[in-house]
């Protein structure tokens, strides 16, 4: 299996803090690779460094070509989609306008796939995105990146602040998305990771401290406890359900 | 009664002038978070460009004035775009340096205009019809007020159409809300920055030309003098909101005119500052809820 993304010695300093201290990992093409770690260890910064949203040093390769040093819009145009933490949808724009903004000129937007995954978004297309529920806003954030030809999705804590039912539904959607696109997922919900992730990368203090198959990592309760500081009960699997957008 | 009508229409005309200047300022700050203290220079440059070319356009008859206005607007747009490309772009996210550069540019522009054309105001060649009056409700209203109101109305409609019905407008509206996320959707937001500076420059230059018609002259400091009111309008209206800017421009100008006439001549400026203070105390984010 080839690697679609490779980070080598990536470092980030923000306001005097050494956030990333030499991140090295590779993401295989296809499936879901989860980035795990305690709060504040550099997971989100890693995604933002890949997209050049924060200044970084080191080497970042996407699909065999270096993208470090490129401006954000060119990295995204090259095939990297981004679903940020807290969704960051445009609250004053309608759902339709949020999606139109994500269209890439010259590329036919895949509205069929988006409407199949999120039928409610079509019904709410004239609604201001800021008036949607948290779950619906997450669907808008996901739909935006699915419209284009992204080959790698960087998804940052998509279940943050969502009700447990919606966490399951978001997981279902991500699993379906991963059938056609590689997903690099930052996630705190270990049951979700256990259900949909193939690989797991654990970051601590700005460095990668563990890389392995996700299920074997999460099956080792003592390892999980030492790396992530959570109890084994937090990683119990949950039931699988069909994706439906609901209000939370 | 006729005095009140004259004051109200003059106030609306002055509000239209404020809107012409403030609309670009508001969009520039809203999208790019740049406090452009050089915006007055765009206004003055447009006015001088129109003043310089007007004598050369005498053969065009009635078209001379519209062509002069167009020349002024193109000048403002070009200067706006060049300022963004050469001075602002290298300093993105360095707000202190941006302020210093735009303040310096504004001061330099006044010195440059003074050096070239002297410190004294020059009579602006106004079309004859703008010097005549139209009687409404017994009040003789100078036609230049209607010119300002019409121009501001057209600019407002044009900006609303641009913002509501074009992709570039969608990018501007989204960028006002979250510029970083616009980039993260694969959009080169820097092109939009240049365009917004050009639009702001053209609108300010239009205000400069029509303001010269209103004042009857063009002078090196007229942009600087009007810029302070434009900033007050933008703060009251809410940064990045064209609708808020239009309403605030009207309110500021009407308060100014009414206070000058009914309270004490010259107190209008003080009233505007008091209005600004009141709005900031009651609604710190401005009429449309957007802050600096």
pLDDT for residue B62: 84
Task: Decide if A203 contacts A36 (C-beta within 8 A).
Answer: yes
The verdict on a CB contact (< 8 Å) between A148 and B178 is no
ipTM value, please give it. 0.86
pLDDT for residue B289: 63
In chain A, residues with a C-beta closer than 8 Å to the C-beta of B170 are: 93, 97, 100-101
Return the structure tokens found at B207: 């205000």
Q: Does A72 touch chain B (CB under 8 A)?
A: yes
pLDDT for residue A238: 41
The verdict on a CB contact (< 8 Å) between B171 and A101 is yes
Residues B32-66: tens digit of each pLDDT:
888 899 999 999 999 999 999 999 998 888 889 99
Residues B111-136: tens digit of each pLDDT:
999 999 999 999 999 998 999 999 99
The verdict on a CB contact (< 8 Å) between A91 and B184 is no
The verdict on a CB contact (< 8 Å) between A51 and B180 is no
Return the structure tokens found at A157: 């804590």
Question: What secondary structure, in 3-state letters, does chain B show?
Answer: CHHHHHHHHHHHHHHHHHHHHHHHHHHHHHHHCCCCCCHHHHHHHHHHHHHHHHHHHHHHHHHHHHHHHHHHHHHHHHHHHHHHHHHHHHHCCCHHHHHHHHHHHHHHHHHHHHHHHCCCCEECCCCHHHHCEEEECCEEEEHHHHHHHHHHHHHHHHHHHHHHHCHHHHHHHHHHHHHHHHHHCCCCHHHHHHHHHHHHHHHHHHHHHHHHHHHCEECCCHHHHHHHHHHHHHHHHCCCCHHHHHHHHHHHHHHHHHHHHHCCCCHHHHHHHHHHHHHHHHCCCCCCCCCC
Q: Does A84 touch chain B (CB under 8 A)?
A: yes
Instruction: Tell me the CA distances in angstroms from A37 to A98, A109, A184, A206, one per residue in order.
Output: 31, 35, 14, 10
Of B167, B173, B187, the CB nearest to A73: B187
Measured in degrees and rounded to the nearest 5, phi and psi for residue A183 equal -120, 125
The verdict on a CB contact (< 8 Å) between B184 and A53 is yes
Long-range CB contact pairs, A88-91, < 8 A, 24+: A88/A141, A88/B178, A88/B181, A89/A129, A89/A130, A89/A132, A89/A137, A89/A140, A89/A141, A89/A144, A90/A129, A90/B173, A90/B174, A90/B177, A90/B178, A90/B181, A91/A128, A91/A129, A91/A130, A91/B177
* For residue B292, pLDDT beyond 70: no
The verdict on a CB contact (< 8 Å) between B173 and A92 is yes
pLDDT for residue A105: 83
Q: How many CA atoms lie within 13 A of A96 on its CB side?
A: 9
Of A88, A92, A104, the CB nearest to B181: A88
Instruction: Give pLDDT < 50 ranges for chain A.
Output: 232-233, 235-248
SS3 assignment, position A191: helix
The verdict on a CB contact (< 8 Å) between B185 and A144 is yes
Give the integer Cα–Cα distance in Å for B133 and B142.
4
- Cβ-based burial of A29 (10 A; exposed 0-12, middle 13-18, buried ≥19): middle
Residues 6+ apart with CB under 8 A from B276: B232, B235, B236
Q: Does A231 touch chain B (CB under 8 A)?
A: no
In chain B, residues with a C-beta closer than 8 Å to the C-beta of A76 are: 183-186
Q: Does A88 touch chain B (CB under 8 A)?
A: yes
* For residue B148, pLDDT beyond 60: yes
pLDDT for residue A226: 84
pLDDT for residue A10: 97
Return the structure tokens found at A200: 């797991």
Of B177, B185, B189, the CB nearest to A102: B185
In chain B, residues with a C-beta closer than 8 Å to the C-beta of A109 are: none
In chain B, residues with a C-beta closer than 8 Å to the C-beta of A82 are: 184-185
Residues B239-271: tens digit of each pLDDT:
888 999 999 999 999 999 999 999 988 889 999
Q: Does A148 touch chain B (CB under 8 A)?
A: yes
The verdict on a CB contact (< 8 Å) between B186 and A92 is no
Query: Rounded to a whole number, what is the distance in Å from the CA of B17 to chain A's nearest CA?
Result: 28
- The pTM assigned to this predicted structure is 0.84
Per DSSP, A167 falls in state H
pLDDT for residue A241: 39
pLDDT for residue B241: 87
pLDDT for residue A151: 94
Four-CA torsion A115, A119, A123, A127, nearest 10 degrees: -80
Mean pLDDT of B200-208: 95
Residues linked to residue A33 through DSSP beta bridges, in sequence order = A184, A199
What's the length of chain A? 248
Q: From B192, B185, B4, B115, select the one nearest A97 (Cα to Cα).
A: B185
Measured in degrees and rounded to the nearest 5, phi and psi for residue B188 equal -80, 95
Of the residues B177, B186, B188, the best mutation for testing chain A's interface (the one with the most A CB atoms within 10 Å of its CB) is B186
Of A76, A88, A90, the CB nearest to B186: A76
pLDDT for residue A235: 46
pLDDT for residue A242: 38
Mean pLDDT of B160-168: 93
pLDDT for residue B240: 82
The verdict on a CB contact (< 8 Å) between B182 and A84 is no
Torsional class of A79: left (φ above 0), alpha (ψ -120 to 50), beta (otherwise): left
Return the structure tokens found at B211: 């303001």
* For residue B73, pLDDT beyond 90: yes
């Amino acid at each position: 299996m080839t690697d679609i993304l490779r980070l080598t010695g990536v470092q980030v300093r923000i306001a005097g803090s050494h956030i990333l201290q030499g991140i090295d990992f590779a993401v295989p093409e296809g499936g879901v690779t989860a980035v795990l770690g305690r709060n504040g260890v550099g997971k989100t910064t890693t995604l933002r460094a890949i997209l050049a949203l924060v200044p970084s040093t080191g080497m970042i390769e996407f699909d065999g070509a270096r993208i470090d040093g490129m401006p954000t819009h060119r990295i995204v145009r090259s095939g990297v989609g981004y679903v940020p933490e807290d969704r960051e949808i445009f609250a004053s724009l309608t759902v339709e306008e949020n999606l139109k903004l994500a269209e890439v000129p010259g590329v036919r937007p895949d509205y069929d796939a988006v409407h199949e995954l999120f039928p409610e978004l079509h019904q709410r297309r004239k609604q201001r995105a800021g008036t949607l529920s948290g779950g619906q806003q997450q669907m808008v954030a996901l739909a935006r990146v699915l419209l284009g030809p992204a080959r790698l999705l960087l998804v940052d804590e998509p279940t943050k602040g969502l009700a447990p039912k919606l966490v399951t539904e978001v997981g279902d959607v991500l699993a379906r998305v991963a059938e056609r696109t590689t997903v690099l997922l930052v996630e705190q919900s270990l049951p979700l990771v256990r259900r949909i992730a193939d690989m797991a990368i654990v970051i601590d203090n700005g460095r990668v401290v563990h890389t392995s198959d996700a299920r074997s990592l999460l099956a080792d309760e003592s390892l999980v406890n030492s790396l992530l500081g959570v109890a084994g009960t937090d990683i119990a699997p949950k039931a699988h359900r069909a994706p439906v957008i609901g209000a939370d | 009664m006729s005095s009140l009508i004259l004051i109200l229409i003059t106030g609306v005309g002055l509000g239209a002038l404020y809107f012409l200047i403030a609309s670009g300022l508001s969009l520039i700050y809203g999208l790019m978070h740049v406090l452009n203290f050089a915006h007055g220079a765009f206004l003055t440059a447009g006015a001088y460009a129109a003043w310089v070319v007007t004598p050369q356009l005498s053969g065009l008859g009635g078209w001379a004035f519209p062509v002069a206005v167009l020349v002024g607007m193109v000048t403002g747009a070009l200067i706006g775009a060049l300022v963004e490309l050469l001075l602002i772009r290298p300093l993105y996210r360095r707000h202190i340096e941006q302020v210093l550069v735009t303040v310096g540019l504004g001061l330099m522009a006044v010195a440059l205009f003074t050096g070239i054309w002297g410190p004294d105001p020059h009579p602006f060649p106004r079309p004859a019809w703008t010097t005549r009056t139209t009687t409404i409700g017994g009040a003789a209203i100078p036609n230049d007020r209607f010119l300002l109101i019409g121009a501001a109305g057209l600019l407002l409609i044009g900006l609303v159409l641009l913002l509501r019905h074009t992709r570039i407008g969608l990018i501007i509206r989204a960028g006002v809300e979250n510029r970083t996320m616009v980039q993260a959707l694969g959009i080169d937001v820097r092109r939009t920055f240049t365009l917004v500076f050009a639009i702001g420059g053209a609108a300010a230059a239009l205000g400069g030309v029509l303001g010269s018609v209103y004042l009857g002259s063009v002078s090196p400091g007229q942009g600087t003098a009007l810029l302070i009111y434009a900033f007050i309008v933008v703060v009251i209206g809410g940064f990045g909101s064209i609708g808020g800017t239009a309403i605030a421009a009207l309110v500021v100008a009407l308060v100014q005119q009414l206070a000058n006439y009914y309270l004490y001549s010259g107190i209008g400026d003080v009233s505007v500052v008091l209005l600004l203070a009141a709005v900031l105390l009651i609604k710190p984010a401005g009429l449309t809820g957007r802050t600096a």
